[in-house]
Amino acid sequence: MKKFFLPALWVLFYLPGCKQSQSCDYPYQEVPFTCVTLKDNFWMPRVETCCRITLPHIFEQCRQTGRIDNFLIAAGKKTAPLTSFGFDDSDVYKMIEGAARCLALSRDTVLERAIDSLIDVVVAAQEEDGYLYTHGRATGMKRWKGERTGSHETYNLGHLMEAAVAYYQVTGKRKLLNAALKSADLLYTALGPGKADTIVPGHQEVEIGLIKLYRVTGQKKYLELARCLLDRRGTSSYAYAHEWESPVNHQDDRPVRQQYEAYGHAVRALYMYMAMTDVVALSKDTSYLSVLHRIWNNIVSSKVYITGGTGSSSAGEAFGAPYELPNATAYNETCAAIAFVMWNYRMFLLHGETKYMDVLEQTLYNSLLAGYAMNGKAFFYPNPLASDGVTPFNHGDCKRQSWFTCACCPSNLVRFIPSLGGYVYALRGDTLFVNLYAGNHAVIEWNGVSVTVSQVTEYPWRGNIQLTIDPATEMKASLALRIPGWAMNHPLPGNLYRYTDKADTLFNLAVNSLNTAYRWERGYAVITRKWNKGDFVDLVLQMPVRKIEAGEKVKADSGCLCLSRGPLVYCGEETDNPQLASLCLSREDIFVPEYRSDFLLPLWGLSGTAYRRNRAVPFRAIPYYAWGHRGCNAMKVWFNEKENRETAGKK
Ligand SMILES: [Zn+2]
């Protein structure tokens, strides 16, 4: 048996438990989720549900559907038919990544043993030279040639790399990481600089995995390979048989630096932008930067729903044309919401501007969360903004399903949800940034001092947030509080949507109960002072119920209103509102929060008045994320405005 060679850098980058990265790559550094213990009633139950219910559910689905058997078949240990899709390997990897996150939150020896055994099964399917792709090994197909027609060999490898890094960082175990590195080395030899220059990944993802390998090993060749694969896009032409194989759908019709808008398959595109952002941060080469800004602006100014959903078209799971934002047929894949959150976080880590966190928050609380049922065992793949309660929009059903033949979304949620605490705080120099508001207890190495930061809040139901700052010793430092765009009269950056009213100052800030001086920096209210044990900061964000209308170019929402409160978008369901389709709203009416205990997780809905043929009727709204929990049900986010009912046409 070969002895494992341990490069010196590994000791530096191995981050068991709660430690912050020593390597300065992004200018803003996240405070890892392992440093932040959620203690709230909104996210903590979901993280617990994810680890306790969703993770075992997905493990079982991977087992029952034959995804784990694929590895045994490839290793010659079992004879059975393979599953339908080449990318099914990735669900197993994403599940391992989710398990790593859950183990980081709570070390569970039974789970760890199960994952260790699963890793043995995975690694046994790897070929001698590092090739790991169950469908390829089992069928003997030609390597890499299928990337353009949907083999997903490199997509699987990307998720293998991400899972391997996550599992290594939590457990210190290297078996899966060694396998991932072996695959990466093979990929470098097969498709690296100067090799096989007609092949690019068919579904971007491996670039992200390679960059994670670079960050954990310090070996530049992985970053170099990621960059080579990005730069190779759009440099060759090839014949294709089906529209979904077209280079446009793959963002491979032109070099990435010549891409001017978000187009093609949304998840592929967003994973590509994530990798490009990583390259800018890690290589200090800013040549992708103008592309990223251009595309981000293109999305927020013409291709995003009020829920933060993106990728409006079910044809090719793709971005639509500018302002093509239909409601009932909106695709808005849950994976696209996850990717949009992850990309916006990278853009924040690069630039330190609140606008990226505003988009992240809107997507997180609305389009992303809608994909995940409160019981942790049912999922939406698309996330439309209207449903007639009958059309089976969710891959054959009109309610959430416990699994899909193409199961990317459930396994993506299981790796994302447990990492939520990592989006709350970030650091740069002597400044601690508070990006999300959620009750938690964090221990943070801030400005060279160990500081316990506690956040008490009932966000998103109430906007009162109290932060207690407990430094080990007195410390002069800055605290930057994100004042959300919704509290500054902007429902989302980009001017696609606007509030129907103008509110005055919607926040107040105090330290130790005294109003405090602060300065504005990139959307943050920054307080610089000497912090002492027990200092507390009160941020009060007013959360009135507000109505939103879309800009004139969004034809699907023309003459319509939607309801919002804080970061939450609301919808109406037929169960609460008979003959939902015929209801209108008035911009003058007042809506009030209404406590609802008839859901698995309690929530605050809204109650007020709607109109049917100009007759007032009682109206109840619930947060958009909560729709579809009571069976197939008609739902709407946008309602015709009362006065415009005659002219607005059918929505
Ligand atoms: Zn998906």
Q: How far is it, in rounded angstroms, from Cα 181 to Cα 363?
A: 33
Question: In the sheet that 475-482 helps form, which strands lie side by side, from edge to edge?
Answer: 29-30, 425-428, 431-434, 475-482, 524-531, 519-521
What spacing in Å lies between the alpha carbon of 90 and ligand 1's midpoint? 11
Confidence check: pLDDT of 246 > 90: no
What spacing in Å lies between the alpha carbon of 178 and ligand 1's midpoint? 28
**53 touches 43 (CB < 8 A):** no
What spacing in Å lies between the alpha carbon of 305 and ligand 1's midpoint? 18
**Which of 391, 302, 299, 390 lies closest to 343 in space, CA to CA?**
299
Confidence check: pLDDT of 147 > 70: yes
pLDDT at 342 (0 to 100): 98
**Can you tell me the mean pLDDT for 555-564?**
98
pLDDT at 238 (0 to 100): 66
What spacing in Å lies between the alpha carbon of 354 and ligand 1's midpoint? 27
What spacing in Å lies between the alpha carbon of 145 and ligand 1's midpoint? 24
| Cα 225 → chain centroid | 25
What spacing in Å lies between the alpha carbon of 151 and ligand 1's midpoint? 16
What spacing in Å lies between the alpha carbon of 399 and ligand 1's midpoint? 16
- Listed by start position, the domains of the chain span 545-648
Instruction: Categorize the per-residue pLDDT at 2 as very low, low, confident or very high, splitting at 50, 70 and 90.
Output: very low
What spacing in Å lies between the alpha carbon of 583 and ligand 1's midpoint? 33
What spacing in Å lies between the alpha carbon of 382 and ligand 1's midpoint? 8
**Can you tell me the mean pLDDT for 292-314?**
97
What spacing in Å lies between the alpha carbon of 591 and ligand 1's midpoint? 35
The conformational region for residue 15 under phi > 0 = left, psi -120 to 50 = alpha, else beta, is beta
What spacing in Å lies between the alpha carbon of 533 and ligand 1's midpoint? 45
Give yes or no for a cis peptide into 418 (omega within 30° of 0).
no
Q: What is the pLDDT of residues 446-459, one digit of tens each?
A: 999 999 999 999 99
**Can you tell me the mean pLDDT for 176-203?**
92
What spacing in Å lies between the alpha carbon of 36 and ligand 1's midpoint? 27
Share of residues in the chain with pLDDT > 70 (%): 94
Q: What is the pLDDT of residues 500-540, one digit of tens each?
A: 998 877 899 999 999 999 999 999 999 999 999 999 999 99
What spacing in Å lies between the alpha carbon of 347 and ligand 1's midpoint? 22
**483 touches 521 (CB < 8 A):** no
Confidence check: pLDDT of 6 > 50: no
What spacing in Å lies between the alpha carbon of 123 and ligand 1's midpoint? 25
What spacing in Å lies between the alpha carbon of 393 and ligand 1's midpoint? 14
* 108-113 LR contacts (CB < 8 Å, sep 24+): 111/55, 112/171
Tokens 């509030």, residue located: 499
* 190-193 LR contacts (CB < 8 Å, sep 24+): 190/143, 190/144, 191/144, 191/154, 191/225, 191/228, 191/229, 192/221, 192/224, 192/225, 192/228, 193/224, 193/225, 193/228
What spacing in Å lies between the alpha carbon of 391 and ligand 1's midpoint? 20
What spacing in Å lies between the alpha carbon of 411 and ligand 1's midpoint? 8
What spacing in Å lies between the alpha carbon of 163 and ligand 1's midpoint? 17
What spacing in Å lies between the alpha carbon of 371 and ligand 1's midpoint? 10
pLDDT at 197 (0 to 100): 67
What spacing in Å lies between the alpha carbon of 420 and ligand 1's midpoint? 18
Dihedral angle, C-alpha 150, 155, 160, 162, nearest 10 °: -160
What spacing in Å lies between the alpha carbon of 296 and ligand 1's midpoint? 21
Q: How far is it, in rounded angstroms, from Cα 474 to Cα 543?
A: 34
pLDDT at 594 (0 to 100): 97
What spacing in Å lies between the alpha carbon of 409 and ligand 1's midpoint? 3
* CA angle (397 as vertex; 202, 51 as ends), nearest 5: 70
Confidence check: pLDDT of 272 > 50: yes
**605 touches 574 (CB < 8 A):** no
What spacing in Å lies between the alpha carbon of 105 and ligand 1's midpoint? 25
What spacing in Å lies between the alpha carbon of 389 and ligand 1's midpoint? 22
What spacing in Å lies between the alpha carbon of 404 and ligand 1's midpoint? 10
Q: How far is it, in rounded angstroms, from Cα 398 to Cα 382?
A: 11
What spacing in Å lies between the alpha carbon of 271 and ligand 1's midpoint? 12
Residue 8: CB atoms within 10 A of its CB come to 7
Count Cβ neighbours within 10 Å for each residue of 449-487 and write b for 16 or more, e otherwise.
eebebbbbbbbbbebbbebebbbeeebebbbbbbbbbbb
What spacing in Å lies between the alpha carbon of 402 and ligand 1's midpoint? 14
What spacing in Å lies between the alpha carbon of 164 and ligand 1's midpoint? 21
Confidence check: pLDDT of 5 > 60: no
What spacing in Å lies between the alpha carbon of 63 and ligand 1's midpoint? 19
Q: Which residues surround ligand 1, an ion (CB under 5 A)?
A: 333, 335, 408-409
What spacing in Å lies between the alpha carbon of 408 and ligand 1's midpoint? 4
DSSP letters along 570-602, please? EEEETTTSTTGGG-EE-SS---EEEEE-SSSS-
Burial of 245 (C-beta count, 10 Å sphere; 0-12/13-18/19+): middle
Q: What is the pLDDT of residues 413-428, one digit of tens each?
A: 999 999 999 999 999 9
